[in-house]
Amino acid sequence: IVINMALSQIISAKRVNMTRVQMRVNAKLASATISGMEMIETIKSSGAENGFFENSVFVGDSLTDGYKLDKHYADLDLAVYNRGIGGDTTFGVLGRMGVSIYDIKPSKVVLLIGGNDVNGGVEPDVIIKNSLKIVSEIKENVPETEIYFVSMIPQNNDIKMYGDFSAEVHVAKIMEINA
């Protein structure tokens, strides 16, 4: 009984420490997200948004696909394209660069991709390599295009879509990739 109580206290202390680390990471990510949203709102309120997003392409996975550009920018006369595809990966973006980016010849490309790679078990170094290849191919094929690569956001332990899911491992991989 004494051994069980001691083990229980040790395990409890480790869980508390893991929770604290997770909370610090989540706070940093929330801060970055709020900063990004504040930047967009500043651009909107200054009236500079009309020129800023002109002929822009948003490329990525379901997070991009679910971003309602036409609703968000309904009050502006812009050519803004949403090329997000639910479930897409860095491999998928590499396979559709022509139709999603080159054919449009955008002034700006906003990329948010890699989360499904992490969820699917692709190693961070492969995701980074693919991401760098996406950027270099855009620069090569449409050199005048500005590129904005949005940092990935981790998911939580409630995600059961990918079977044995660990938020700690997921967050660690995303932090490595975002660095």
* Sequence-ordered list of residues with C-beta below 8 angstroms from that of 49, at least 6 positions apart, any chain: 43, 73, 76
pLDDT of res. 23? 58
| Distances 131 to 9, 89, 137, 163 between C-alpha atoms, Å | 44, 10, 10, 25
Average pLDDT, the chain: 76
| C-alpha to C-alpha distance for 152 and 62, rounded to whole angstroms | 12
Confidence (pTM): 0.67
Q: Across residues 3-16, what is the average pLDDT?
A: 68
**What percent of the chain has pLDDT above 90?**
26
